[in-house]
Amino acid sequence: ALGVLPMALLTQSRLLHGMQWLLATFWFMSEARYGLGWSYPLFLLALGWQLARYTPSRMLVFALLWGAFLWLHGLYAALVGEMRVLDFDDGHLWVDTGLALLAYALVQVKAGSADAWWRDTAQIINLWFLRLALLVLFVFSFVGTWDNLLDDMAGADGLAKGWLLVCDLIVFWLMRQMSLPRRVTVAIAMLIAHLLLVGAWLAGVDGSALMFAVIVNMILLASAIRLLVRGLELHAAYLFYTGVVVILVQALLRYLDVMGDYLSGAMLFVAAAAVLFAAARFWQRRMQEKQA
């Protein structure tokens, strides 16, 4: 990686910058068990320099975001005396939640940029944030996930909570640079994340895993409905079909892992069917109006 870095800086090649980042990331992850790779930010700075001064690249933006998350995640592990990569138990969940919210806020700021390229890039990253958030919600829609999480919450230290607080303060500062709709979006994301995280911490090992799983499933259903409505309003097929897929996957997962009793599972299926039927009618009506 160090051998490729000078050539990447001299030639300003996006390919070489991507190669040096990839090699550095492999090195960082393979050596993490022996200690934190303190030189890894050097390669991230090179990516930032390329993006700021020379030809922009969306792949390099993704690489920079992922690399920064990876190193800060490892920094927390090193500070608490751990040597593990991508560990999500104990305090790591607090740290990763703060980093995810911070990255999301940064993307929202760029989405309102005067530069058209950054606006388009932010929209693409927003779409991937949406998919990632839905995937995380699906993981936390299982009772077993909350059983393990409630046990791990007791191991969260003050450093992890302080890390989340610092990220929150930075997000609040970034929200001043956003339009009102984007502020509302970021505020809703922060509210949901903090209610689940702090609620699980306060509940502790005696908390009801079933209750948290039900809440997450309700959030998933509400998100799917919002995607359907937004897709109809904007005539955006990708948002509409994302909402449909969320409902179908949620119904399938609840069929394979019936939560609570059969009555609650049946009620969820009926609600999902009603939402899909209403969405199909609205979509058909919009298409007919558009053709007319």
Query: Do 127 and 190 lie in a common domain?
Result: yes
Query: Do 272 and 196 lie in a common domain?
Result: no
pLDDT tens figures, 263-285: 556 666 666 667 666 666 666 67
Number of structural domains the chain divides into: 2
**Domain, as residue range, for 267:** 209-292
pLDDT tens figures, 33-79: 777 778 888 888 988 888 888 777 888 889 899 999 988 988 888 88
Query: Do 169 and 285 lie in a common domain?
Result: no
Residues 6+ apart with CB under 8 A from 205: 150, 151, 153, 154
**Whole-angstrom distance, CA of residue 70 vs CA of residue 227:** 30
- The runs of H, that is alpha helices, within 112-157 are 116-139, 143-152
Range in 13-17, 66-70, 85-89 with the lowest mean pLDDT: 85-89
- Model pTM score: 0.83
Higher per-residue confidence, 154 vs 70? 70
pLDDT at residue 32 greater than cutoff 90: no
- The runs of H, that is alpha helices, within the chain are 4-11, 14-31, 40-53, 58-79, 92-111, 116-139, 143-152, 158-175, 180-203, 209-234, 237-256, 262-291
Query: Do 147 and 46 lie in a common domain?
Result: yes
**Whole-angstrom distance, CA of residue 127 vs CA of residue 107:** 11
Average pLDDT over residues 199-208: 75
pLDDT at residue 242 greater than cutoff 70: yes
Q: What percent of the chain has pLDDT over 90?
A: 17
> Please, what's the largest Cα pairwise distance for the chain?
67
Predicted confidence at residue 153, as pLDDT, reads 73
pLDDT tens figures, 113-152: 888 888 888 988 998 999 999 999 998 888 888 888 877 7
User: Which of 208, 243, 275 is a domain's end point?
Assistant: 208
Predicted confidence at residue 283, as pLDDT, reads 65
Query: Do 43 and 188 lie in a common domain?
Result: yes
Mean pLDDT, the chain, integer = 81
Average pLDDT over residues 27-38: 79
User: Which of 162, 188, 208 is a domain's end point?
Assistant: 208
User: Which of 208, 241, 269 is a domain's end point?
Assistant: 208
Query: Do 259 and 239 lie in a common domain?
Result: yes
Query: Do 154 and 68 lie in a common domain?
Result: yes
Predicted confidence at residue 156, as pLDDT, reads 67
Residues 6+ apart with CB under 8 A from 213: 140, 141, 142, 143, 145, 146, 259
